[in-house]
Amino acid sequence: MWHIVRTGDKFLFDGEILRDFFVKWYEKNVDMEELEEEEARTLALPCFVFDYVQGFAEITKWLVYNYPGHIKEKRPVHFNWEHQHLAPPDFVGPINAVRGRLKSLIHRGMWDGIGDLLKRRSCSCGRWETTAGRYFAELVRTEAFPLEDTYAKSSANDILGRLKYFRMIPTSSSCPHCSRKWEIPIKEAIEKTQYYFNGLCIDCMDRSMAKRESSDVDYWKHNEPMEGRWDKHCRIKHGEPTWYASWRGRDETRQKLIKEHRKEKRARDDS
């Protein structure tokens, strides 16, 4: 497949011409259940070149959730053309930013469970320190914590898998602060993180890149969310995180669109 990419680059043909061919090749040769790290890194560029939006989203999502450490593209052996890669703002930058965002979501979920108790520094049973100590000890036992150590050498799915084994017996049966089910905030963090990102969207990437022939009004119209959806004109379904990560335009415009979306959402909620 990379031979075709290189030939197309050499003779300047449009990759979309061979989209159907590539989709058939992808469906026959790529098994997401058996996908390996090095293979996934080589598939991003062909998916992008052949405009296979579903494949590009699948591969970028897989890498964000399953690759340990900093994510980079990989060219097959003997394909060393320096310009045969995705521009950093289109691939390396956004997917590593999302990987960092997943870390923040996991960390927030861990903290939400115990943070209020630590801030109070008191409870009716007087065992708040014991509760906090056992909570963090259990996180360490799962080998998911501390994240600053574990996340650098583990994938997001590795961490989420370890957190599923979190178990903690409350230190009190009557104290409203120490008797809570501590597995609940951990489970909520796992679920929120698992469904956060849908992969990069080629359609969002294309629309958000400013085009000379487009007016500011047209540019705004084609990029704003419609009816509360961020995938209205896209070939895949996705939420705001995918739209945000796929943005290739000015950040100030992206922030304006987000503010407009939130304003419209408040108006709908109030009506």
The predicted-structure confidence for 131-181, as pLDDT tens digits, reads as follows 999 999 999 999 999 999 999 999 999 999 999 999 999 998 899 999 999
Per mean pLDDT, which range of 14-28, 53-67, 131-145, 191-205 is the poorest? 14-28
Q: Where are the domains of the chain?
A: 2-86, 94-194, 202-270
Strongest mean pLDDT among 8-12, 203-207, 235-239 = 235-239
pLDDT reading at 78 higher than 70:
no
Compute the distance between CA of residue 78 and CA of residue 196 in angstroms, rounded to an integer: 36
Return mean pLDDT, the chain: 86
pLDDT reading at 91 higher than 80:
yes
The pLDDT, as a whole number, for residue 251 is 86
Are the C-beta atoms of residues 239 and 198 closer than 8 Å to each other?
Answer: yes
Q: CA torsion 181→186→189→190, rounded to 10°?
A: -120
Note the pLDDT tens digit of each residue in 129-143.
999 999 999 999 999
Close Cβ partners of 108 (under 8 Å, ≥ 6 residues apart): 189
Compute the distance between CA of residue 189 and CA of residue 76 in angstroms, rounded to an integer: 37
The pLDDT, as a whole number, for residue 12 is 46
